[in-house]
């Protein structure tokens, strides 16, 4: 018998509600509702437009009525962001977006409170100033009043789950992006919380990935004219949903979740936390079945998204497909950026900053749109190779294939460049990995899919996967040596 579930995915490139149907063999997905997910800047702070997004969830629920019986709902978002709830359950202020500049300097502040090595040794997380730990530290130092009024800190997917059900929980995968978990125990680290002087009572109970959190509240059922529906803690962290949809059968593989961010890594049974992984700043994040994703966060297609927005501001509007055609015609392997250089993180004139980076590092300066897009794509592919070498060095394993999933797999150019740079086969797809993983995790929570392996097999036979073989590797190897010299 067919089962239908509803997946909500909140990415920087947009939000969507998708109906997933499982017929026992395959999963199909149908888009019901798509909406933008733009942050709003007010008085110098960049916020999540959280109430509008909750309105969009309600629209999704209304539109899902046409699908017939919906068994459950699952929500995923990007990592690290949160809302604060007071003792009466009211949201205190709008959640702030991680691209807000408030965390600048907080990494250095934290190292005055906890030894850097100890911090990494416990959490196993890549140090990134956007992490929840540093957002909370900002509040401690600058908005103590707000922190004092907080009864719970609830991460974004859990916050939507709370709005839907009233349950205040912390799903494990999203909690593992905070830099506040003990990576080995999968629980909030008392030692880190104490050192950072964060109030322990605000951290909710951690629940495993792929379990039920509650049911729609009576209020929502009445308002929308719905029967009770289960709400599942899928992987609240979008990256971990995407990982469930990686069509790999082998135990050791490299995945590349390629959307606004690029997450390149491998799946492990236990975290790797040692001097080498700390030196490379590799993160250990948690997923379904307490599996560990040992990965590098790379800034990713954000650079193309933000360049596109800049060109629109300058009066030149192109779609991603158009940009790809222009990049294809531009000359190859002329200049590179380090996509993770700090100047590329904030919104703004990314093409201008790319030109400045190339000028400063003595490289040819990309002038046309095609040249800039080519430079971003080639630099990302080189960065993937670099991350893959670091991962290999830590695991001591070799990998034959890079499994690329997510919106970025629609760029044939990026897939081919990745194969060329890494010198290995790229398997590209599914595009909608996050949604497929979200759907599969709901079906795992209900017991309809029995294991991660089974979920991956189902998704593999449900989706078209494209294969790219490496080309011109000698030329790419030579260029990689030049790339390494401009890394920040």
Q: Known catalytic residues?
A: 238
Q: Which two tokens stand for residue 95?
A: 């959640």
- Using the minimum distance from each CB to ligand ADP, give the nearer residue, 183 or 414: 414
- Residue 260 contacts ligand LRH per CB under 6 A: yes
Indicate the residue among 203 and 255 with the shorter CB distance to ligand ADP.
255
Tell me the closest approach of the beta carbon of residue 422 to ligand ADP, in angstroms. Answer: 19
- The partner in contact with residue 286, picked from ligand LRH, ligand ADP, none with C-beta cut-offs of 5 to 8 angstroms by kind, is none
- Nearest approach in angstroms of CB 100 to ligand ADP is 18
Cis peptide preceding 381, ω within 30 of 0:
no
8 binds ligand LRH (CB under 6 A): no
Tokens of 308: 């596109």
Contacted by 324, from ligand LRH, ligand ADP, none: CB < 5 to 8 Å by type: ligand ADP
Measured CA to CA, the distance from residue 81 to residue 95 in angstroms comes to: 7
Number of C-beta neighbours around residue 386 at 10 A? 22
Of 135 and 305, the one with the shorter C-beta distance to ligand ADP is: 305
User: Given the rule CB under 6 A, which residues bind ligand ADP?
Assistant: 11-13, 259-260, 301, 304-305, 320-321, 324, 406-408, 410-411
Output the smallest distance, CB 297 to ligand ADP, in A: 12
Residue 263, contacted partner among ligand ADP, ligand LRH, none, CB below 5-8 A by kind = ligand LRH
Residue 165 in contact with ligand LRH, rule: CB under 6 A: no
Interface region with ligand LRH, contact rule CB under 6 A, candidates 42-50, 63-71, 237-245, 264-272: 237-245
- CB closer to ligand LRH out of 136 and 216: 136
Farthest-apart Cα atoms in the chain, separation:
64
452 touches, from ligand ADP, ligand LRH, none (C-beta below 5 to 8 Å by class): none
Instruction: For residue 80, state whether it binds ligand LRH (rule: CB under 6 A).
Output: yes
Nearer to ligand LRH, 241 or 330 (CB): 241
CB closer to ligand LRH out of 420 and 434: 434
**186 Rama class: left (phi>0) / alpha (psi -120 to 50) / beta:** left
Minimum CB distance to ligand LRH, residue 138 (Å): 16
175, containing H or E segment: helix 172-175
Q: What minimum distance in Å lies between the beta carbon of 340 and ligand LRH?
A: 13
Measure the CA–CA gap between 40 and 48, rounded to whole angstroms.
7
Q: Is 300 left (phi over 0), alpha (psi -120 to 50) or beta?
A: left
Q: Shortest Cβ contact with ligand LRH: which residue?
A: 79
Q: Decide which of ligand ADP, ligand LRH, none touches 100; Cβ closer than 5 to 8 Å per partner kind.
A: none
Q: Which is nearer to ligand ADP, 71 or 306 (CB)?
A: 306
Name residue 8's beta-bridge partners.
17, 75
Question: 410 touches which of ligand LRH, ligand ADP, none (CB within 5 to 8 A by kind)?
Answer: ligand ADP
Closest contact distance (angstroms) between CB of 275 and ligand ADP is 32
Count of positions on this chain that bind ligand LRH (CB under 6 A): 13
| Residue 406's binding partner out of ligand ADP, ligand LRH, none, with CB under 5 to 8 Å set by partner kind | ligand ADP
What DSSP assignment string belongs to 120-152? HHHH-----TTSHHHHHHHHHHH-HHHHHH-SE
Q: Is 403 in the site for ligand LRH (CB under 6 A)?
A: no
> How far apart (Å, rounded) are the C-alpha atoms in residues 153 and 313?
37
Which pairs count as long-range contacts for 384-387, CB under 8 Å and 24+ apart, including other chains? 384/256, 384/262, 384/264, 384/298, 384/418, 384/421, 384/422, 385/421, 385/422, 385/423, 385/480, 386/483, 386/484, 386/487, 387/264, 387/265, 387/296, 387/298
Strand ranges for 183-317 from DSSP E: 187-188, 206-207, 211-215, 230-233, 254-258, 262-268, 283-286, 292-298
Residues 6 or more apart in contact with residue 114 via CB below 8 angstroms: 192, 195, 196
470 vs 418: CA distance, rounded Å: 8
Site of interaction with ligand LRH (CB under 6 A)? 78-80, 98, 177, 237-239, 259-261, 263, 297
């Amino acid at each position: 018998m067919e089962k239908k579930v509803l997946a909500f995915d909140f990415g920087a490139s947009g939000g969507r509600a998708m109906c997933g149907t499982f017929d026992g063999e395959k999963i199909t997905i149908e888009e019901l509702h798509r909406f933008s997910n733009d942050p709003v800047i007010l008085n110098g702070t960049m916020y999540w437009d959280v109430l509008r997004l909750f309105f969009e969830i309600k629209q999704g629920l209304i539109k899902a009525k046409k699908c017939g019986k919906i068994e459950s709902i699952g929500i995923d978002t990007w990592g690290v962001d949160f809302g604060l709830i007071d003792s009466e359950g009211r949201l205190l202020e709008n959640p702030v977006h991680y691209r807000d500049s408030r965390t600048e300097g907080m990494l250095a502040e934290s190292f005055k409170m906890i030894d850097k090595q100890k911090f990494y040794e416990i959490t196993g997380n890549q140090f990134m100033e956007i992490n929840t730990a540093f957002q909370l530290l900002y509040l401690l130092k600058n908005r103590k009043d707000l922190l004092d009024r907080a009864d719970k800190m609830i991460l974004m997917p859990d916050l939507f789950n709370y709005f839907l059900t009233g349950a205040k929980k912390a799903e494990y995968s999203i909690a593992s992006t905070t830099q506040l978990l003990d990576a080995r125990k999968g629980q909030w680290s008392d030692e880190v919380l104490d050192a950072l002087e964060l109030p322990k009572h605000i951290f909710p109970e951690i629940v495993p990935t792929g379990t039920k959190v509650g049911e729609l509240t009576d209020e929502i059922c009445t308002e929308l004219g719905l029967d009770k529906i289960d709400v599942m803690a899928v992987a609240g962290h979008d990256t971990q949903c995407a990982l469930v949809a990686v069509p790999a059968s082998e135990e050791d593989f490299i995945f590349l979740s390629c959307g606004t961010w690029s997450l390149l890594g491998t799946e492990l049974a236990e975290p790797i936390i040692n001097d080498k992984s700390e030196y490379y700043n590799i993160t250990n994040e948690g997923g379904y079945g307490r599996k560990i994703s040992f990965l590098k966060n790379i800034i990713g297609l954000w650079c193309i998204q933000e360049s596109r927005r800049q060109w629109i501001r300058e009066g030149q509007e192109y779609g991603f497909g158009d940009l790809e055609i222009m990049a294809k015609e531009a000359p190859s392997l002329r200049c590179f950026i380090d996509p993770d250089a700090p100047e590329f993180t904030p919104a703004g004139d990314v093409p201008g900053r790319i030109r400045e980076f190339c000028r400063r590092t003595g490289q040819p300066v990309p002038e046309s749109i095609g040249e800039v897009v080519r430079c971003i794509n080639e630099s990302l592919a080189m960065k993937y190779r670099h991350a893959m070498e670091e991962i290999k060095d830590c695991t001591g394993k070799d990998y034959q294939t890079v499994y690329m999933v997510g919106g970025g797999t629609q760029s044939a150019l990026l897939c081919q460049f990745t194969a060329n740079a890494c010198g290995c086969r790229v398997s590209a797809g599914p595009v909608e990995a996050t949604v497929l993983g979200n759907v599969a995790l709901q079906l795992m929570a209900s017991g309809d899919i029995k294991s991660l392996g089974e979920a991956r097999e189902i998704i593999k036979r449900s989706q078209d996967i494209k294969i790219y073989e490496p080309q011109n590797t000698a030329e790419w190897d030579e260029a990689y040596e030049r790339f390494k010299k401009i890394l920040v």
